[in-house]
Amino acid sequence: MKFKLKKSYMEDLKLFEYKSDMVGYGVLLVFLFIFPSWAGNYWTYNLTLAGIYCIAALGLNILTGYTGMISLGHAAFFAIGAYTVGYMTTILGHSFWIALPLAGFAAAFVGLSLVLPALRLSGIYLAIVTMGFGFIIDQVILEWPEVTGGANGLLINRPTLGPLSLNSDASYYYVVLVMVILFVLLTKNIVRTSMGRAFVAVRDSEVAAQSMGIPLAKVKTQAFTISGFYAGIAGGLFAPLINFIGPDNFTIIESINLIVMIIVGGLASIHGSIFGAIFITLLSEFIRVGKDALPAFLSQQVGFQGAVYGLIIMLFILFEPMGIYGRYLKIKYLFQVFPLYRKDTFRRERKFQKAQRTR
């Protein structure tokens, strides 16, 4: 195993720990840039959808993974973003490129209003409040037809970029790809600097964090607002992708799906959010394509897709609670120290006594 001797504090803040990492990410980038040219519309569309969920999952991971506050109402932020873009582009006729940042800010602003209960509650009670928030937004969508189209939903056209039309799946894929890269870098910047460290400190022990001089209220507010912003942008990208949004798109199932993404991917990790979002979004499509290879009595079986999907998620939670990223780290470590791998390396340590964790 490599041990890195750090000679200054600034080395902790570097974007890439090793120079060799850059090669890997460079290859990944090239792969992603040429992807639509050989993959076809179907897979390009799916990867675009996964990219949008990546942004939302990154935001949720900042809130849940890093700051330790659970949200069961994230679909609502997603919906606010989607409807902001829908309203601005179809009803008011503005450009998508103005609407998209506003979608993020609208969701962030609503996230700010959720801070009031969030500061007073934690754990399961916060989950209930955010869930209630999700239902409220659901109702607002239904009862405000002038803006949201009510139950009828909104039909949204793909945007144009100057003279370029983004109607094809490949062109919109590049828009989303650029956004995902920007948001990954943004997240990386947040979590490796003092703000992100404050998040982690608050998650691990509020008492300890406060006694170190971290303003609890401010940090939690930041986490909620940032998380809302991410989900809003993701929603804003989502609306033109599927061309139609209605209240059915943003139910509690969608919120739970986002939580599943970060749990399966890996909590408190950027890799984890990306792995999880891609895995969960593409899983049902892999099952869809894979089932064609199976005999008809299995592939035409009603509910086959749902059953396989549920089974895979159950197996994950049972056998790899650290998520896909945890498994990735273990495999990487196995190769680094081969043949000296010990099973106990990744056993969880208890860092705080229960009494120290009082909130």
Coil, helix or strand at residue 282 = helix
Instruction: Show contacts with other proteins in window 161-180 (CB under 8 A).
Output: 167, 169
41 in contact with other proteins (CB under 8 A):
yes
Q: Which is nearer to other proteins, 40 or 215 (CB)?
A: 40
Q: Residue 235 and residue 255: Cα distance in Å, rounded?
A: 12
155 in contact with other proteins (CB under 8 A):
yes
266 in contact with other proteins (CB under 8 A):
no
Q: Which of 23, 164, 217, 307 binds other proteins (CB under 8 A)?
A: 307
Q: Pull the structure tokens for residue 280.
A: 């969960």
Number of residues that bind other proteins (CB under 8 A): 35
Q: Which is nearer to other proteins, 205 or 249 (CB)?
A: 249
144 in contact with other proteins (CB under 8 A):
no
101 in contact with other proteins (CB under 8 A):
no
153 in contact with other proteins (CB under 8 A):
yes
DSSP 148-190: H-GGG-EE-PPPEETTEE--SHHHHHHHHHHHHHHHHHHHHHH
Nearest partner of 263 among 320, 223, 206, judged by Cα: 320
117 in contact with other proteins (CB under 8 A):
no
242 in contact with other proteins (CB under 8 A):
yes
The span of 29-37, 119-127, 183-191, 240-248 binding other proteins (CB under 8 A) equals 240-248
Q: Pull the structure tokens for residue 30.
A: 């090239």
40 in contact with other proteins (CB under 8 A):
yes
Closest CB 141 distance from other proteins, rounded Å = 11
306 in contact with other proteins (CB under 8 A):
yes
Nearest partner of 173 among 48, 82, 340, judged by Cα: 48
Q: Residue 259 and residue 93: Cα distance in Å, rounded?
A: 34
Closest CB 263 distance from other proteins, rounded Å = 20
Other Cβ atoms less than 10 A from the Cβ of 69: the count is 24
Nearest partner of 135 among 146, 147, 143, judged by Cα: 143
The span of 3-11, 34-42, 94-102, 336-344 binding other proteins (CB under 8 A) equals 34-42
Instruction: Show contacts with other proteins in window 209-238 (CB under 8 A).
Output: 238
For 88, which DSSP code?
Answer: I
Closest CB 138 distance from other proteins, rounded Å = 10
Q: Which of 91, 116, 178, 289 binds other proteins (CB under 8 A)?
A: 289
Nearest partner of 44 among 32, 56, 57, judged by Cα: 32
The span of 102-110, 153-161, 173-181, 311-319 binding other proteins (CB under 8 A) equals 153-161
Other Cβ atoms less than 10 A from the Cβ of 260: the count is 17
Other Cβ atoms less than 10 A from the Cβ of 186: the count is 16
Burial readout 31-66 (b: 16 or more C-beta within 10 A, e: otherwise): ebeebbeebeeebbbbbbbbbbbbbbbbbbbbbbbb
247 in contact with other proteins (CB under 8 A):
yes
160 in contact with other proteins (CB under 8 A):
no
Q: Which of 13, 28, 91, 142 binds other proteins (CB under 8 A)?
A: 142
Q: Which is nearer to other proteins, 39 or 161 (CB)?
A: 39
123 and 68 in contact (C-beta within 8 Å)?
Answer: no
Residues that bind other proteins (CB under 8 A): 40-42, 45-46, 49, 142, 150-153, 155, 157, 167, 169, 238, 241-244, 246-249, 284-285, 288-289, 300, 302-307
